[in-house]
Structure formats: C-alpha cells, structure tokens
Amino acid sequence: MSQNTFPTASRREFLKNTGRVAAASALAGVAIPHVHAGENNTIQLALVGCGGRGNGAALDAMSTNRGSVKLVAMADVFEHRLKGGYDSLRKQCGDKVNVPKDRQFLGFDAYRKAMDCLKPGDVAILATPPGFRWVHFAYAVQKGLNIFSEKPLAVDGPTSRKFLALGDESVKKNLKVGVGLMFRHCRARQEVYDRVQAGELGDLMMLRAYRMHGPFIGYFGPKPKEMNELLFQVAQFHGFLWASGGTFSDWNIHQIDECCWMKNAWPVKAQANGGRHYRGDSVDQNFDNYSVEYTFPDGTKLFFYGRGITGCYDEFATYLHGTKGSAVTTSGLIAGKCRTFKGQNMGKEDVAWTFPQPAPNPYQLEWDALIDAIRQDKPYNESKRGVEASVVTSMGRMAAHTGQIVTYDQMLACDHEFAPNVDRLAKDSPAPVLADAHGKYPIPQPGITTKREY
C-alpha cells in the first residue's frame, strides 16, 4: 500500500464501491413476545440515528433477499441528518421506505417515538453515538423488539455492566440481536478462522494489527459560538470520550475483535503508549497515535498500532503468526483479502491459500444472518460478545490514556462513568464535559491522570 493513500473503510464508501432506560431490572415481568415476522411477512424497521452508519445499516437491511423488509420510522437529533438520510434511502430503496412526516422524529426522546411505531418482533436499528447505546437498547428490549446495534456497545465499566444485564434480558425474551462487528460475518475471515482452528498455522504465538492513515474524523477545532454545546458534542462524537470512547474505541474495535476471535480468547491485560502531535487548534480528546500490547491468558501477545497523522506510512492490516505458518486477515479491504502462508515470510512465493476475490459484502451478510434468525425463530444474540469486545477495546484505550497496566477485570469493574445522566439528556441539558476558557476539553494525561478515568 503506497504511503498516504488509505482506502476508506467506512460503510458508506464500501457500499458505494460495491454498487450497491431504565436499568435491566426494570424490564422484569414484561411478557415475552413472538419475535418472527408478522402475518404479512414484512419486517418493519425503525432507524435511530440517521448518519452514515445508520443509513448504511438500513440500506443493507432493505437489500436482503430474505423476505420483505420496510423502513417505517426514523429518529435523530439533527433535522438535516434525518432529511438527508430519508432522501438518500428513499432514492435507493423506493417504496421500501414508508416514513411519512408523522413518523420522522427529532430530539433526544425521538428514539422512543420511532420504536413506538413498531410491533414486537420488528427491528430497531441503533446507530447513534455509542454513549447513548444502552439507553436505546433498554427501550427496545422493553418493547420486545429485535435489535441491530452498531458498535461499540459501551465505552466504560458501568455502561458495560448495564449492557451485560440488558443482554441477558434480551436472551430471556428470545429477542434477536445483531451487533455491527461485521468482520465476524466475512466469509474470507471465517475461512481463515476455520483453518486456524484446524491447526494449519500451528499454535498462534503473536498477532499484529495496524490502522494507520490520515487524521481521524474525530479531530476538529473550537465549537462555533452560536452552536449548542451538547449538540456540538453529539455532532462531533468521535472526539469526545463520553460519546464514543474516542476514535480508539469507535474505529479500532473491529481489528481488536477480529484478533480475539482468531485467538478464541479475550486478553486479560493491556499496556500501552499514546500521544498528541501537531494539533494546532484541535480541541477534541483524542490521541494521534496508540500502541497497545494485549496479553491473552496463555501469554500470547496482540500488538495493535493506531495512528492518525498525515505524511506517514499508512497501513490497514491484520496479521497472525503461528508455529507452522502465518496469515493475513485484513489487507486494506473490509471484505477481507485473506490468505495464509507456509512460514513467517509473506511473499507471493510463500502463499499457501487465498480466498477468491471479490469476497461477499460482510455488511450485507450480517443483516442476512439476523433476518434469517428472525424469520426462522432460531437463537441469535451477539450482545454479550459485543460488550466483551467493547471492554477489551476500552481497556487498551484506558491503558494508553493513564499510562497504567489495565486488566480486563479492572476495566469491567471500573466505577467511572463518563455520562451518568445520559438517559436524561435534553437539548438544554449541560453537556457531559465542559471546555476551558480557551475552548479546549480535558485530554488524557498519562502518569498524571492515573485513576482509570479515561
């Protein structure tokens, strides 16, 4: 891959290029609904969060060949996003989008109104900033709705614990839950996983992942004077830890989860470095680079490298190293240009196997799997795995931001919650984090801020 030419990996770009709460205890006693499609065989959708990810998820849902799926309600806090999402989806999906003005909802309570348009067994798409995820998930479970939730599911210890309890409730109610960690639905990566488990690479001894390219979307300058503080932070959610876990959690979870899947284990601890460089008037809370060493229970290491700086060497890739061979599972493409090698050298002459290209679209495959599960009423719930992947990602971020070794158990048990009042936020509410006199927000200070607050 040439320097400074990063192949954008967003859902929006992939689709273009391929053409195409209450706490869990409050849910006790709610009747368990049937969760398959209704008598007319149409599964209805409510889209909560109408940005690029939400629109992409809705498009994938309506593109499935697993029966009739229609979008009937939409919700967002920004009118321009709701209108833009509606116009785009209507143009691409036609009559599958049946969302008149009275089912287009704005505001922090809009998620309730959109989900109220569904019947038990329909699907709520949760694609707002991750800081709101547990609140929306809880209401969907209360309503008896199946759920597709974007990742990460949680960004701190308290919300991770809430989500685990809510996930248990969703399982008890036989709800189908998909989580947007689409790498696990990639056919090429599934083939690599099978080969790893069959012993083709021997014992995995080291895993490496790189997401290094130009500046992240979560880098930005001061808030416009006329803009509401809370809405500014929601609009720029990649730059605020309470809203997304920052770019580390929101972007890097895919490859971290991918490696844990291949290893068949979650790391027990992480140590890390990170820092900010050349930032000018940027006011966000992100570091520009992260280097994390994860340790699995058997001592195997996963090394993750993330960087968002222009003019540097770019790489978007994941590598596995075993006692008998090696593999590439990510190579600049979301669909996975996967291959295995006879040894540790990865030249063309060393290739043992490669997955035929082009690989099927994993964004579509994850929706096909969810709709199949709904129609066939078979167990399907990715919430627990989604929370675990979120916890592992958060512990790598926290290790870098505090300069401390952070274990999985410490991350999950941590009592610091970024936005404890997120379920009660309204447009005129104070924002979860405030800027200083210069318009800049608190940034992590490794070695100074060491109490696992980041």
For every residue of 363-410, DSSP letters joined together read: HHHHHHHHHHHHHHT---B-HHHHHHHHHHHHHHHHHHHHSS-EEHHH
Alpha-carbon distance 177 to 158, whole Å?
A: 21
User: What pLDDT score was predicted for residue 449?
Assistant: 85
Sheet bearing 269-275, strands edge to edge: 351-354, 339-341, 326-331, 315-322, 204-213, 301-308, 289-295, 269-275, 406-407
> Torsion over CA of 364, 369, 372 and 377, rounded to 10 degrees?
-150
CATH number of the domain enclosing 250: 3.30.360.10
pLDDT at 38: 45
β-partners of residue 106 are 76
Q: Which two tokens stand for residue 192?
A: 């690599």
Residue 83 reports pLDDT greater than 70: yes
The answer to whether position 445 is within a domain reads: no
Instruction: Give the pLDDT of residue 16.
Output: 41
Residue 160 phi/psi, 5° resolution? -65, -40
**Could you give the CA distance from residue 344 to residue 9 in angstroms, rounded to a whole number?**
27
pLDDT, average across residues 377-386: 98
Q: What is the mean pLDDT of the chain?
A: 91
Q: What is the C-alpha to C-alpha distance for residues 117 and 419, in angstroms, rounded to an integer?
A: 28
Please tell me whether residues 194 and 175 are part of one structural domain.
no
| Residue 236 is assigned to a structural domain of this protein | yes
| Domain identity same for 227 and 167 | no
- The pLDDT score that the predictor gives to residue 12 is 42
How far apart are alpha carbons 146 and 45 in whole angstroms? 10
Radius of gyration, alpha carbons of the chain: 21
For residue 448, being part of any structural domain is answered with no
Is the residue at 147 inside a domain?
Answer: yes
Verify that 144 and 277 share a domain, yes or no. no
- Long-range contact pairs involving 285-289 (C-beta distance under 8 Å, separation at least 24): 285/239, 285/240, 285/241, 285/246, 285/433, 285/441, 285/442, 285/443, 285/444, 286/216, 286/218, 286/219, 286/238, 286/239, 286/246, 286/247, 286/248, 287/246, 287/248, 287/400, 287/401, 287/444, 288/215
**How is residue 320 written in tokens?**
């596995």
Same domain, 148 and 248: no
In terms of Cα–Cα distance, which of 244, 258, 125, 141 is closest to 179? 125
User: Mind listing the pLDDT tens digit for each residue in 278-311?
Assistant: 888 999 999 999 999 999 999 999 999 999 999 9
278: left (phi over 0), alpha (psi -120 to 50) or beta: left
Same domain, residue pair 46 and 103: yes
Mean pLDDT calculated for residue range 81-110 = 98
pLDDT band of residue 132 (cuts 50, 70, 90) is very high
pLDDT top residue among 335 and 435: 435
Residues 6+ apart with CB under 8 A from 68: 37, 40, 41, 42, 43
Residues 106 and 122 in one domain: yes
Residues paired with 69 in a beta bridge: 43
Mean pLDDT across the stretch 27-38? 40
Q: Are residues 340 and 374 in the same domain?
A: no
Residue 18 lies in a domain: yes
Question: What pLDDT is stored for residue 96 in this prediction?
Answer: 98
- The verdict on residue 218 lying in a domain is yes
Rounded mean pLDDT, 329-335:
85
Same domain (yes/no): 305, 285: yes
Which pLDDT does position 280 carry in this prediction? 86
Q: Is residue 447 part of a domain?
A: no
Question: Does 273 share its domain with 400?
Answer: yes
pLDDT at residue 216 in the model:
78
**C-alpha to C-alpha distance for 174 and 145, rounded to whole angstroms:** 10
Same domain, 264 and 303: yes
183 CB-near residues (< 8 Å, 6+ apart) = 189, 254, 255, 257, 258, 261, 330, 334, 336, 362
Give me the mean pLDDT over the 369-374 stretch: 98
- pLDDT > 90: what percent of the chain? 85
Q: What is the pLDDT of residues 6-20, one digit of tens each?
A: 333 444 443 444 333
For the chain, the domain total comes to: 2
pLDDT at 263: 98
pLDDT-based confidence at residue 29 (cuts at 50, 70, 90):
very low
- φ/ψ of residue 295, rounded to 5: -120, 125
Residue 129: band (very low, low, confident or very high) from pLDDT cuts 50, 70, 90: very high
Over residues 143-161, the pLDDT tens digits come to 999 999 999 999 999 999 9
Mean pLDDT confidence for 54-82: 98
The mean per-residue pLDDT over the stretch 211-231 comes to 92
Asked whether residue 321 carries a pLDDT value surpassing 90, the answer given is: yes
CA distance 260 to 264: 6
* Per-residue pLDDT, 306: 97
pLDDT tens sequence across 229-243:
999 999 999 999 999
Q: Are residues 68 and 121 in the same domain?
A: yes
First to last CA, the chain: 33
Q: What is the CATH number of the domain that holds 39?
A: 3.40.50.720
> Residue 177 above 50 pLDDT?
yes
Judge if 199 and 277 occupy the same domain.
yes
- pLDDT, mean of residues 162-180: 98
Tokens of 168: 């248990």
- pLDDT > 60? residue 35: no
pLDDT band at 36 (very low <50, low <70, confident <90, very high): very low
Average pLDDT over residues 331-346: 90
Place of tokens 């929370």: 387
Is residue 450 one of the residues assigned to a domain?
no
Q: Give the pair of three-digit tokens for residue 376.
A: 């066939």
Q: Identify the domain containing residue 376 by its residue range.
A: 11-183+366-381
Locate 340 and state its tokens.
């295995």
